[in-house]
Structure 1
Amino acid sequence: MTRLFSADRDTVNYPESGATARRPLPAGYNHLEYRVRIGHGRPDLETAGAAVTTLRAHRASGMRVATDREGPLLPGRRVEVAIGVGPLRVTAPCQVIWTAYEPDRVGFAYGTLKGHPECGEESFVVDMDADGGVWFTVTAFSRPGCWYTRLAGPAVPVLQRAYARLLGHTLRRLVRARPTPER
């Protein structure tokens, strides 16, 4: 996935950068909001938050992920997610737009770059409510960015929702597999 580092992908390919951190989401896009409970308590929040912000959740869900540098996700960092094999591989170059490393909320959003099959932004956030419930939320706005996503039409939002659900199941599995200290 060497295309990640291409100089012609310096800016996001949509004007509403950062909109997943605000409401309402911009008009003229398909919107996605998916929220699922994945655990309970601070250890589950920390496990899930680390899995999201290191892209482990994406990798564990079957995606190939490359980044332009190691370390924690920070705004400006490049990420490329790919699925498929050989000529059937679809790559999605993105840039991290915002991050949240807060006591009860951890996550990030990335925006699409030139060459991504969509135009828009997607956030992945783990938060803990007042009762200790740990939740995973995917928020996105997107529209077709190339001929094959335009051709796919209404199938694309269905696939995006399915991927959000897969990430939720993956995070729940990662949280449950977390080693617990002996008492």
Structure 2
Amino acid sequence: MKLADLARLRLTYQPRGLTLDGPMPTGFHHIEVERRLGAGATAYHQAAEALLAYAPQRGLGLRPRGTAPRAAVGVDLLSRLVVLPVPCRIVWVVEDEHRTGFGYGTLEGHVESGEEGFLVERRGDDVYAVVRAYARPASWLARLGGPLTWRLQLLAAKGYLRALQRAVREDG
């Protein structure tokens, strides 16, 4: 699978966009994790820019390649999980003074069907990263993994948070 191939692929799930504000849909496995990244405007802007440039995915070792260098609705991303292609399309983006983030959905050829959302939020002076996801198996490989698949997804979500933490240097 090549990045150029993704434009012809369809998203594999409904409903869409619920990792932004929910509620999470029934019939899917849900994940929601968060981590405090720091405080202040500098921490927020560092985390927001890192997020929109796919730092969480890079930090996890997924080697994302996108049809744009920065997250925007409609951008296709192709990552690799060892040898497995991970094709996704960005379905929502938010960028303001209190929340920045994006969500992408699975395309045909992904082992799962669902959506993963990434947010950086200002809560007062504190800066938090949030990862929300809903997914279900779309291949025999994901079904075979069963509960192990969900455990690996949770570990990946926590890894995304650690990658964003590394991207932030707290205000002195």
Rg larger in structure: 1
Unaligned runs of 5+ in 1: none
What SS does the corresponding residue of 2:77 show, helix, strand or coil? strand
1:117 paired residue number: 111
CA distance in structure 1 between the aligned counterparts of 2:160 and 2:20, rounded to whole angstroms: 20
Equivalent residue, structure 2, for 1:57: 56
Ranges of 4+ aligned residues in structure 1 off by more than 4 Å: none
Structure 2: how far apart are the matches of 1:75 and 1:23?
Answer: 18
Aligned residue number for residue 11 of structure 2: 12
Query: 1: CA distance between counterparts of 2:15 and 2:60?
Result: 28
Q: Compared with structure 1, are the counterparts of its residues 7 and 171 closer, same or farther at alpha carbon in structure 2 (3 Å cutoff)?
A: closer
1: CA distance, partners of 2:4 / 2:97? 33
Secondary structure of the residue aligned to 2:142 is: helix
What corresponds to 1:80 in structure 2? 78
Match of 1:136 in 2: 129
Matches within 5 A, 1:27-38: 27-38=26-37
Q: CA RMSD in A?
A: 1.7
- Structure 2 segments unaligned to the other structure (5+ residues): none
Measure, in 2, the Cα distance between the counterparts of 1:97 and 1:170.
22
Task: Name the structure 2 match of 1:22.
Answer: 21
Q: Give the drift of 1:9.
A: 4.1
Cα deviation for residue 7 of structure 1 reads: 5.7
Q: TM-score, normalised by structure 2?
A: 0.93
Note if contact 2:37-2:127 (Cα within 8 Å) is conserved in structure 1.
Answer: yes
SS of the counterpart of 1:94? strand
Question: What is the identity percentage for the equivalent residue pairs of Structure 1 and Structure 2?
Answer: 31
- Structure 2 counterpart of 1:173: 166
**What residue number does 1:158 align with?**
151
Q: Distance in 1 between matches of 2:13 and 2:140?
A: 17
Quote how far apart the aligned CAs of 1:49 are. Answer: 0.8
TM-score normalised per structure 1:
0.87
CA shift, 1:90, in A, is 1.4
Deviates more, 1:137-146 or 1:61-70: 61-70
